[in-house]
Structures are given as structure tokens and as C-alpha cells.
Structure 1
Amino acid sequence: MKKHNILMSESFSRGKRHYFLDYKIARNRSNFICFTRSDAQGDGTYSVERLRVFQEDFEVLIGSFSSLMTMAAHYGNGYESVQDMRLLNQQQEVRGIKGMEVALRPREKMLENGPAAMTDTELLAMLIGSGTPNESAIDLAYRILGSVEGNLQELSVLGFPGLCRFAGMGIAKSSSVMAAMELGRRLGRY
């Protein structure tokens, strides 16, 4: 029987027990993950158990594993399931911009007072659109502006590498900021 090609592999051991996690390609060119546990026996042999998960089931495996690890991380906190955790988190105080007083939210503030009343941080936060689970768009904008000491000229030349280095800033959000900066430059030409 021909062996499967291993594309990537990880392994670890604990005592007489060895674990192998292999990402392989089968003869039919489909991908699969093989989990192998090998236990050393007293007579010098090994007992081996394998579990294979094929490509079409990766999404379900990853989702299940993610839920399991989330529950394991919070074991003993009174949760019965991941759904219980989500429900409890939804019932907790809303964070970020949605948790702010309505009159202080950037969009509402602009609607009420006009764009001239907005701080640079609020305007940048509006371009960014959303933050991360741990940081609002306003906090993220504040950090980005802080990195250039509030200098909008410096902000305009950060580019993808400079903007994407901030957690929460990917290509899409960075593109929005860069597009606004370019419009500002073009407006300055007239």
C-alpha cells in the first residue's frame, strides 16, 4: 500500500505516549488530517490508534474543536454549553461605540453637529468602521493617531504595512483609510 504524502506534520510526546498530527494528501488528491496516538507497550511494541478527517469535514471539525476549547477554557464558570456562554455575554453590558451615550457616538455626533465638530480620532474611527472584541473603533483610531503623534501627514504615508500592523486593521480597513487620505490629497490640488 502506497503511503500518503505528508504536507505538514506536528508531534509531541508525554511519557510512553506519542501524538502525531499530519496534514496529508490522499491518492485521489483530496486532503485529510490524520491524528495518530502511539503507546509504547511493555514488550517493546507500540499500539497505534488513528483518526482521519477528510477535507469536506474540516469546517465542522474546526467549529467543534473551537467550541470545545472555548468551553475547556471556561470550565468551572457555570456554563453548560457554548450557547450558554454566548447568551450570558449578550446579556452583559454592551461595549464599544454601541455602549456609548447616543449623542457621543461618531455618526450621531456628525449628523447632529456636522463634520467640522468631529475630532481627528472620531473621523478616523468612522473610516475604520469597527474595532475588535477588546477595542472600539475609537480606541483603535486613537492608537493609530498616537503612533504618528496626531500628524495627519504622517498618517497619510503609513500605507498597508504601517496600518496593518495594528490589531484590527486588515486590508479592507486600511484601504478605506488610504482612500480617504488620497481623496484629501486630490482635493488639495484644486
Structure 2
Amino acid sequence: MERFNMASEAFSAGRKHYFLDFKRAANDTLFIQITRSDRQADGRFVRNHVIVFEEDLPLLIQGLSSLCHHAAHADGLPPKVVPNAVVRGMAAMPVEKRPRERLLREGASVLADAELLAILLGSGSAGESVLELAERLLKAFGGLDGLSRASCERLQLFDGIGEAKSTMVAAAVELARRLG
């Protein structure tokens, strides 16, 4: 079955590497694949996968949301530090500099175009944060004006932009036009 990555995140902790992929199968079924890759002493990797199919995604999201809520409010538990953990993407950025948090704290008007676009896009891909993806798009299209004229098909030619993200951009552009 051919698979298409729609969004990816990755992080590492020592000899363990984790990959979270949101994918679309050739038959248009959506699923999340969670992969743990462990480096063995001889240098080879052993990978284990868990796949959660489209019909179970709301339950997974609800469960993760509940788990994160409880973990965030766990009184008396010291924060756990993972030695040698490599954090990438927006999680690597200091909280006070992250676009979503800045918008909530300072208002939308202080954010750069790339930061606003990053909030709209929601996630980057393996090896590229959502902010880097937003900056790359704006550069490729010559800014917001060029981006506003791009078709969904043209946006989807960029790595990290699939149907979902291209339609979000198109919808935001259309809403702005209707306001203008």
C-alpha cells in the first residue's frame, strides 16, 4: 500500500528515536504511524510501529489530551529530565518566542507574517519546523501577496504542504478577501 506523509514530527533521546507521522494511504484512508527506532550496539536499528487508523483518531486525540492535561497538573511530581534528548521543531524554541504563545500574550499585530502563517499551518515536517516552512513559503512566493495568489495545487508542490494545509491557506486568504 503506497503511503503519503501529510505531517511528521521527530525527536530523539539517546539511542532511541521517535517518529510521529500523519499519513494518507493510496485508498485515501488516514492514519497515524508512531515509530520507535532503537540503535543497537552493533549499529543497526530495530524499529517498532503502532498504527492508529482514521476511525480511531478521535479516541487517540482524546486520550492524549486527557493524559497531557493530567500530566500538566500532577502535583508534587518533579519534572523529569531526559539526558541527551534532542528536541527539534517548535518544541526547541523558547516558549516566550513561539508564535502561538506570543499571539496570546502580545496580540496578533506584533507577529511577523511568517509567524502568523506558521500558526495557520500548525505543524512542520521531519527536519523542518513550521516556522521554517512558513518562511520558505513566503520567500518562494515573494511574500503574502504572492502567496495569496497561489493555487492549492501550486502550494502542494512544496514539501510539507499537502491538501489539508493548502486548503487552510486558501480559506484564510478568501476570508481576508471577504473582509477587505
User: Aligned residues: percent identity?
Assistant: 41
RMSD: 2.9
Aligned mates of 1:126, 1:172 — CA distance in 2: 14
Deviations 1:56-81 (A, max 9, x none): xxxxxxx9xx99xx78x9894265x3
CA separation of 1:77 and 1:153: change in aligned 2, threshold 3 A: same
Q: Which residue of 2 aligns with 1:135?
A: 128
Aligned mates of 1:131, 1:165 — CA distance in 2: 15
Considering Cα pairs closer than 8 Å and 6+ residues apart, tell me whether 1 or 2 has the greater RCO. Answer: 2
Q: Which residue of 1 aligns with 2:171?
A: 179
Deviations 1:160-190 (A, max 9, x none): 12210110100001111110011101000xx
In structure 2, list runs of 5 or more residues that go unmatched.
1-32, 49-82
Aligned mates of 2:128, 2:169 — CA distance in 1: 18
- Which protein is bigger by CA-based radius of gyration? 1
Q: Which residue of 1 aligns with 2:159?
A: 167
Q: Aligned partner of 1:141: which letter?
A: A
TM value normalised by structure 2: 0.56
Aligned-partner SS, 2:139: helix
Correspondence 1:36-115 to 2 at 5 A: 76-77=42-43, 79=45, 81-82=46-47, 92-115=85-108
In structure 1, list runs of 5 or more residues that go unmatched.
1-62, 84-89
**How far did residue 153 of structure 1 move?**
1.9
Following TM superposition, where does structure 1 have runs of at least 4 consecutive aligned residues deviating by more than 4 angstroms?
none
Deviations 1:91-119 (A, max 9, x none): 62210001110001111010110000110
**How far did residue 141 of structure 1 move?**
0.5
Alignment size in residue pairs: 114
